[in-house]
Every structure is written in C-alpha cells, then in structure tokens.
Amino acid sequence: AQSVAQPEDQVNVAEGNPLTVKCTYSVSGNPYLFWYVQYPNRGLQFLLKYITGDNLVKGSYGFEAEFNKSQTSFHLKKPSALVSDSALYFCAVRGRNDYKLSFGAGTTVTVRA
Amino acid sequence: GAGVSQSPRYKVAKRGQDVALRCDPISGHVSLFWYQQALGQGPEFLTYFQNEAQLDKSGLPSDRFFAERPEGSVSTLKIQRTQKEDSAVYLCASSLALGLTGGRGKTGELFFGEGSRLTVL
C-alpha cells in the first residue's frame, strides 16, 4: 500500500521569508511524486513532479521540491513566499507500475504581509 | 474545452435522493479518475477508467455509488439514496495514457476539474 504523510496541518510564514512544506511517503519500489495546490472552492492545480534524475525539481510559481530517497521525503520549498501563495498544498505519490495517486491530508499555508 | 469541466458545481440533495455528477475530461485524455474529498481532508480515490473500461472501482464506498464512461469521454458518477456521510467534494481528473508502457503519458500528472460539492441534508 502507498501513503503520504504531511506532518504539519498549518504553516505560517511572513512574506519574503522561505517557505517549506514537509512530505514523507511510503510506496513499493521507486516513486513518482507530485505537489498540488488548491485555492478555496477550486480544484487541484499541478505544481511539480519528481519522476527520475535530479533530486531537485523546479516547478510553477517559483516552487521547488527536493527528493530524498533515504529519508523518503519530498519537501516543497519556495525561497521567498508571497501572500498569494496562501493556499492548501497536497503531496501525492504513485508507484511506477500503478495508476492510483495517493494524497496526503494537506497543509494550509498562510503567508502574512 | 481547455480543462476538465465538472457539473454541477454545487448540489444540495435531501437524504434518500439520487444524484448524478458529470465530468467532461480534457479531449484526448485516455485516463479518468474520480476522487472524493471530505472537508479538511485530502482526496481519496474512488474509481479509474481507461477509455470506456472501468479498471478499478475499489474506492467506491458502497454499492450506492456507480460510475460510467460509456463512450470513453464524458463520465458520470451516480450516487443512489444519498446519505449525510456522502457530503463531500467530488473531483474528476484526467490524464494521458497512464499505465501504458513507454511514452510521456505514463508519468503524466493528473489534471483536475473544480469539483462538485455535494451537500446531503
């Protein structure tokens, strides 16, 4: 079985400060890893994915994530947060021979001006 | 259209009523998923179609839930005799040909619609 843990329900940062949203995963074999963002009353929007290769993945809106196989983590980062980054963030995992994407419970990010 | 379209966006049903939720995926996307998102939770897998074939319905909570995609394009999620615990946002997602060997599509991300929020009174 595959699963995702997002240990923080909420992350609060000041605008301009670095933002980190934590994610650890469990899956059989090598993973495909994804981050999605959800704004109120909207669907999930894709941010970035790790498939293979470089452990540091760059995505939309200045976000990046680092894959760490030994720690089974895929933390989302942004060097300088914006107020408009305030949203709900989901980490997701899929096995390489699977089609089913499993999501974490989500982390609410609040960036204060 | 350019994205995944879902309708209705909001549905209020009385307990015991049947509801039907529609999903129009991105044109050409072979794979289609339904997810259920309860308040404050992450999306939970319900069912998966590849073209018109329903390959996995293991996430459907009960036999009151039924999904179809008869022509391999539009999909409908039907909930019979709705109960209060069915209240949630139902998300549809589509993707290029997941599960097939080779090709860019195998690793592709899911594209989600905006969801149908169901409230059962």
For residue A95, the model assigns a pLDDT of 87
3-state percent breakdown (helix, strand, coil) of chain B, nearest 5: 5, 45, 50
Q: Does A106 touch chain B (CB under 8 A)?
A: yes
Which residue from B minimizes the CA distance to A44?
A: B112
CA dist A63 → A75, A77, A111, B120 (Å):
11, 6, 14, 38
pLDDT, greater one: A33 or B2: A33
Asked if residue B23 lies in contact with residue B6, where contact means CB atoms within 8 angstroms, the answer is yes
Q: Find chain B residues with C-beta within 8 A of A32's C-beta.
A: 107
Q: Does B33 touch chain A (CB under 8 A)?
A: yes
CB atoms within 10 A of CB A69: 10
CA nearest B121: which of B83, B80, B90?
B83
For residue B97, the model assigns a pLDDT of 66
SS3 A95: strand
Asked if residue B44 lies in contact with residue B91, where contact means CB atoms within 8 angstroms, the answer is no
Mean pLDDT of chain B: 90
**Which residue, among A38, A39, A44, would best test binding to B if mutated, counting the most B CBs under 10 Å from its CB?**
A44
Asked if residue A96 lies in contact with residue A110, where contact means CB atoms within 8 angstroms, the answer is no
Q: How confident is the model at residue B40 (pLDDT cuts 50, 70, 90)?
A: confident
For residue B102, the model assigns a pLDDT of 38
SS3 sequence, B3-29? Answer: CCEEECCEEEECCCCCEEEEEECCCCC
CA dist A96 → A2, A100, B18, B29, B98 (Å):
11, 10, 37, 19, 10
- Pairwise CA distance, residues B43 & A73, whole Å: 20
Asked if residue B27 lies in contact with residue B74, where contact means CB atoms within 8 angstroms, the answer is no
Q: How confident is the model at residue B65 (pLDDT cuts 50, 70, 90)?
A: very high
Low-confidence residues in chain A, pLDDT < 50: none
B85-119: pLDDT as tens digits = 999 999 999 998 665 433 444 557 889 999 999 99
CA dist A14 → A76, A80, A83, B36 (Å):
17, 9, 8, 33
For residue B87, the model assigns a pLDDT of 97
For residue B31, the model assigns a pLDDT of 92
For residue B98, the model assigns a pLDDT of 60
Q: Does B42 touch chain A (CB under 8 A)?
A: yes
pLDDT, greater one: A99 or B63: B63
CB contact under 8 A, A99 and B56: yes
Give counts: helices (H), strands (E), chain A.
0, 12
